[in-house]
Amino acid sequence: MDNSLLFSMKLSAQVAAVATIFVVIVGLSAAYLLARKNFPGKELLDILLTLPLVLPPTVTGYYLIVLFGRNGLLGRYLYAWTGWSIMFTWYAAVLASFVVALPLMVKAARAAIESVDKNLINASYTLGHSEWRTAVKVVFPLAGKGIIAGTILSFARAMGEFGATLMLAGNLPGRTNTMPLAIYSSAASGDWSEANTMALLFTLTCGLFLYAANRLAKRVI
């Protein structure tokens, strides 16, 4: 196996894993808020979090450039302070995967949290437990199936992320070319045998991941 393939494989897994960690933290918090709280702007938050599911990833990527690019709405301050921009780094690939995968986690976890019996939550409160402890001890375990499903879906989506990553992180060999981007490069440059190898290997890896995830999910639940 040549080095560039190995690099792309490792990068894809690394990007998807780190993105998924953030997806779980942010997605679970957002899902809890949307499921259990009423606040002004709730509808708007829901729409914002769902949009990346509907928009073409290139459009999501475009907005991320507008926000985080070197001259972006937020990115320019970061650049002014630190001289660093997220553009064309592997962090950008993580950011792109995170934003695109987040809606899957929010949708799955929100539905699961909403289906938790309100009486169980009230019972925990009357037994003296705080909202935080109730969420951790009662709500999340009972919503476990949905949360695990959301996590698996998010990781899978992050592994396959292409469009937004291309916009934000570029396709720099040895730096930001995840498997989907590397496969695209090979095919675009006519190197079909390499494209073939990579596509097969990637498909096999993703298939193995899903198999392992399903086995694990069955054991946990």
Residues that bind another protein (CB under 8 A): 117, 119-120, 122-130, 137-138, 141-142
Which is nearer to another protein, 76 or 129 (by Cβ)? 129
Contact between 198 and 186 (Cβ < 8 Å): yes
Q: Min. distance of Cβ 63 from another protein in angstroms?
A: 40
Q: At closest approach, how far in Å is the CB of 19 from another protein? A: 29
Least distance CB 129 / another protein (angstroms): 6
**Residue 42 or 137 with smaller CB distance to another protein:** 137
Closer of 41 and 118 to another protein (Cβ): 118
DSSP at 124:
H
CA dist list (Å): 71 to 49, 95, 175: 24, 17, 22
CB of 22 to another protein, least distance (A): 27
**Between residues 105 and 139, which has the closer beta carbon with respect to another protein?**
139
> How far, in Å, CA of 49 to CA of 100, rounded?
9
Q: Which is nearer to another protein, 36 or 129 (CB)?
A: 129
Instruction: In whole angstroms, give the CA distance from residue 152 to residue 216.
Output: 11
Least separation in angstroms between CB 125 and another protein = 4
Give the span between the Cα atoms of 28 and 57, in whole angstroms: 22
Please count the helices (runs of H) and the strands (runs of E) in the chain.
12, 0
Minimum CB distance to another protein, residue 201 (Å): 39
The DSSP string of 63-103 is: HHHHHHSTTSTTHHHHHHHHS---TTSHHHHHHHHHHHHHH
- Give one DSSP letter per residue of 144-204, joined into a string: HHHHHHHHHHHHHHHHT--HHHHHHH---TTTT--HHHHHHHHHHTT-HHHHHHHHHHHHH
**Of residues 98 and 140, the one with the C-beta less far from another protein:** 140
CB of 179 to another protein, least distance (A): 38
CA distance 144 to 178: 30
Q: Which CB sits closer to another protein, 81 or 132?
A: 132
